[in-house]
């Protein structure tokens, strides 16, 4: 059979049966209500179904009074410590905080000077990838999507571990520290490989520096001349701290709990979390925000006209503009109602950066979209549900001012979040004890078997 004929028959097959597949996988929405099924593990009021306990992260965005959900200002705590206090402490003492945050998440307390120094040394020493890993696992098989390459690289690291299946706490800690240290290197090399093989740019492979912070090290590895400014490293470090953990219920952390409860290995668990984070409704939202804002900039002629901006926001929400999905990316959150503390901290830094980078007009456009969207959403959707900017709304803007390529926006999220994933994995392995297995009710009609010759 000729190749063109083969392709045409395959296309006809896909066209016919994709429609059939779509029809046979559409469950009527009224059935969810009839059987009291919590879609997305959400209660009717939008609160999450309680499925577990954790000591790692606390995401607080509302209180319950007499059965009603009451919005409050958002608070995020890492091991009981308010993340705003954490970041203020790092900034006041003028030092990088991500490595200390990793220690806090893994071990449950803030380290002493000696402990932190020793921990930074361990992280630095583990940054280099195993012999031939870069050549065989990354450069010989480049990917157009860095997140997919990260997941594949983490799975490939299994093959270089002689104790990959050992789930003792000692061994999971070793694996966690190694993966936390190596993920930035994997991301930097995966980006360089994509830039070279898919975009025709020169290939630059810089060795990780064990003496630098994670933020400094990442910046020097992704840039051809290894150059970066102190303010760039400082703000990237802040972003890493803000993204490091977000409770056990966020999609990627919950995925980590689910697969870890089966007793699988660390590499499989972390690769699963990366796959979850890649989604545009989770970590991939920061790229969608950047693309949405580019679309708004293109179609809104007067950035000072709130009416013109509001009209275009309405078009997006009504599925008449941008990607026609009816979403204002970066606005709204499953838990936060009045505010996302991470977004508040990052917004402040975004303004500082914009002031020094001649980007204030663009910053004010972001601010207007943030301010106008809740009211427009409530009017169009006929709801009084509060809506606030989440951390994704300003993160892409900050990264663009830092001249970080868009391809690395979500991988940076993964680099930041892997300490939280590792902490949740250990917590599940130590305290879980049972495989996570929720129920699904079958609503399929009962059918009788018919012999092959009697089928239409």
Q: Which of 58, 237, 265, 392 is catalytic?
A: 392
282 labelled catalytic: yes
333 labelled catalytic: yes
Q: Are 56 and 245 in contact (CB under 8 A)?
A: yes
- Residue 278 CA neighbour count, 13 Å, CB half: 16
Sequence-distant (≥ 6) Cβ neighbours of residue 157 within 8 angstroms = 130, 133, 178, 179, 182, 267
DSSP conformation letters of 262-331: TT--HHHHHHHHHHHHTSTTTTTHHHHHHHHHHHHHHH-S-TT-HHHHHHHHHHHHTTSSTTSS---TTB
**Helices then strands (H, E): number in the chain?**
18, 3
- Extract the tokens encoding 148: 């997919």
Q: Which of 333, 340, 407, 424 is catalytic?
A: 333
> Whose CA is closest to 408, among 251, 174, 193?
193
Q: What radius of gyration do the chain's Cα atoms show?
A: 24
Cα torsion 382, 284, 196, 231: sign: positive
**Rounded CA gap, 388 and 337, in Å?**
6
> Whose CA is closest to 234, among 352, 319, 126, 369?
352
Q: Which of 282, 340, 407, 424 is catalytic?
A: 282
Using CA atoms, how far residue 140 sits from 127, 143, 148, 329, 377, in Å, is 20, 10, 15, 35, 47
**Rounded CA gap, 53 and 217, in Å?**
35
Helix (H) or strand (E) holding 206: none
Find residue 48's DSSP bridge partners.
Answer: 42
Q: Are 197 and 142 in contact (CB under 8 A)?
A: yes
424 labelled catalytic: no
**Rounded CA gap, 432 and 435, in Å?**
8
Cα torsion 414, 419, 424, 429: sign: positive
**Rounded CA gap, 238 and 240, in Å?**
5
228-241 burial: b if 16+ Cβ within 10 Å, else e = beeebbbbbbbbbb
So which residues are the catalytic ones?
282, 333, 392
């Amino acid at each position: 059979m000729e190749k063109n004929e083969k392709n045409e028959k395959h296309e006809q097959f896909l066209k016919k049966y994709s429609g059939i597949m779509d029809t046979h996988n559409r469950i009527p929405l009224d059935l969810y209500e009839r059987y009291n099924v919590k879609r997305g593990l959400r209660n009717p009021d939008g609160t999450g179904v309680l499925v577990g306990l954790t000591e790692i992260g606390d995401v607080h965005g509302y209180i319950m009074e007499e059965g009603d959900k009451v919005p409050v200002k958002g608070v995020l705590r890492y091991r009981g410590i308010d993340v705003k206090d954490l970041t203020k402490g790092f900034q006041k003492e003028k030092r990088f905080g991500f490595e200390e945050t990793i220690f806090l998440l893994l071990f449950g307390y803030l380290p002493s000077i000696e402990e932190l120094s020793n921990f930074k040394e361990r992280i630095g020493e583990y940054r280099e990838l195993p012999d031939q890993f870069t050549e065989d696992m990354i450069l010989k098989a480049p990917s157009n999507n860095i997140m997919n390459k990260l997941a594949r690289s983490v799975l490939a690291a299994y093959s270089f571990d002689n104790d990959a299946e050992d789930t003792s706490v000692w061994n999971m800690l070793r694996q966690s520290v190694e993966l936390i240290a190596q993920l930035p290197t994997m991301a930097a090399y995966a980006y360089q490989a994509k830039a070279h093989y898919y975009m025709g740019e020169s290939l630059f492979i810089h060795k990780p520096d064990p003496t630098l912070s994670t933020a400094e090290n990442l910046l020097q590895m992704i840039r051809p001349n290894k150059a970066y400014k102190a303010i760039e490293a400082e703000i990237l470090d802040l972003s890493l701290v803000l993204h490091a953990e977000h409770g056990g219920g966020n999609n990627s952390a919950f995925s980590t709990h689910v697969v870890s409860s089966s007793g699988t290995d660390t590499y499989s668990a972390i690769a699963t979390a990366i796959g979850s984070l890649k989604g545009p409704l989770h970590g991939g939202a920061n790229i969608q925000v950047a693309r949405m804002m580019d679309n708004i900039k293109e179609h809104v002629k007067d950035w000072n006209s709130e009416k013109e901006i509001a009209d275009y926001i309405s078009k997006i929400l009504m599925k008449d503009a941008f990607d026609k999905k009816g979403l204002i990316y970066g606005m709204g959150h499953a838990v936060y109602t009045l505010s996302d503390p991470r977004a508040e901290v990052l917004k402040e830094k975004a303004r500082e950066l914009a002031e020094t980078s001649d980007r204030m007009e663009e910053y004010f456009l972001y601010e207007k979209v943030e301010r106008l969207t809740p009211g427009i959403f409530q009017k169009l959707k006929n709801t009084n549900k509060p809506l606030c900017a989440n951390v994704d709304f300003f993160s892409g803007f900050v990264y663009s001012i830092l001249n970080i390529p868009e391809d690395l926006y979500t991988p940076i999220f993964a680099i930041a979040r892997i300490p939280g994933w590792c902490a949740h994995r250990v917590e599940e392995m130590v305290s879980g004890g049972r495989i996570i297995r929720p129920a699904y009710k079958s609503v399929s009609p009962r059918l009788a078997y018919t012999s092959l010759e009697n089928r239409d």
